[in-house]
Copies of this chain bind each other. A is one copy, B any other.
Amino acid sequence: MRQSELFTRGRREAPADEVAKNAKLLVRAGFVHKEMAGVYSFLPLGWLVLKKLEELVRSEMLALGAQEILMSALQPKDNWQATGRWEKMTDLYKLHDRSERELVLGPTHEEIVTPLVKNYLDSYQDLPLAVFQFQTKFRMEPRAKSGLLRGREFLMKDLYSFHRDEADLQRFYDLVSTAYKKILMQLGLAEKTYFTLAGGGTFAEFSHEFQILTPAGEDSIRFCDRCRLAVNEEIFDRQNNCPGCGTEKLPIATAIEIANIFKLGANFSRAFNLTYRDQAGVNQPVLMGCYGLGISRLLGALAEVLSDEKGLVWPEPAAPFLIHLLSVGPAAGSAGRAAERLYERLIKLGREIFWDDREISAGEKFAGADLLGLPYQVVISEKTLAAGKIELIKRATGEKSFLTEDELCVWPG
């Protein structure tokens, strides 16, 4: 895409109404637009990141054998009364229909997915079963000041699994855990992520969270660097050492919960009488698990954790474009014309390339490219042309290399 055609542009100043680094950078670089505290719209570059994250996560969910669906945001009060969460959950957005019937604006979907699956589940042969969706969720957060890290409206991937017994639930639980680790590794977040033992609420003794260390986080965890495990401070009275090696006096740090995995057991099955017929023909309760991963929160975490003083730094699988082509000098000059030729050539090769074809100073282009944070910058100037080479800069490290145009067209090989 030609940058001159993009309707958004980077701003020099951080927005005055944002506290969190992720929001400041994402607003400045034109990835998101704030509508209210905790409510953002996604601009073209931010939307491309969301799509990339969705595709990355989707492929892992499909590899688990899960089937994609899309559930409703509007949910009947009855379902929430059946589980007791109409009263218990304090962050529910409740609203009225015309008939004064009350509705919930879905913050999560156990109350919908359990009766939905009940329609299609009869016997043990129908199990295991897993469904997932990418969907906008709503939570009435008391304070929403962490930018994209904690929203009132946010995009989430939620996965629900259904099993015959505890062993099969555990098997799937471990598979999802591995899939989440793989996703976070591909995004360059593995180093800062701790697999964290957390409370199980009213459903189970424990659950697990994927917590990313960052001063911007709203959670506190006790972490063990030897085992890459942690314990959420909330349950440190129950588990006051590393669940792996038993080390006590673990250091404390703030972190952001990017994903969680949760054994629901038979709690929701009981509320909706979801059973299966076992091999002896006897009805048994279905055991369930749920597995959330925040997609817009992941975008925020990448901005918060991987950025540097110059701006955003996108990992390749999340970047809106792989390459930022920067031509120095006027469009009609030799560098401008060479850049246009290269751009057309790379587009024909199907490459994801963003070309800053605007008539602005080289300094502005470089600063703007650093703020946007695409993984690679390709510079074409009179100087590089004279040397017969193109400059390739890796945004994360500043590492430079020089390639011919032909070499760039087959790069990275």
Question: Taking beta carbons and an 8 Å cutoff, which residues of A are in contact with B?
Answer: 5-9, 30, 33, 35-36, 39-44, 47, 50, 65, 67-76, 93-95, 97-98, 103, 105, 112, 116-117, 119-121, 126, 129, 131, 136, 138, 140-142, 152-153
Contact = CB atoms under 8 A, between A and B. Distances in A.
B112 A67 contact: no
Contacts of A8: 120
Contacts of A70: 41-42, 47, 50
Nearest to A133: B47
Contact of A35 (B40, B72, B138): B72
A10 to B, nearest CB: 11
Contact of A7 (B41, B98, B117): B117
Given A7-B117, A35-B74, A35-B76, A69 B44 contact: yes
A120 B35 contact: no
16 contacts: A5-B65, A7-B67, A7-B120, A7-B129, A8-B120, A35-B74, A36-B74, A42-B70, A42-B71, A44-B69, A44-B131, A47-B69, A73-B153, A74-B152, A98-B140, A136-B136
Given A7-B67, A7-B129, A47-B70, A35 B112 contact: yes
A370 to B, nearest CB: 20
Which 7 residue pairs across A and B have the least CB separation, nearest first? Answer: A42-B70, A41-B71, A95-B95, A44-B67, A35-B72, A39-B72, A74-B153
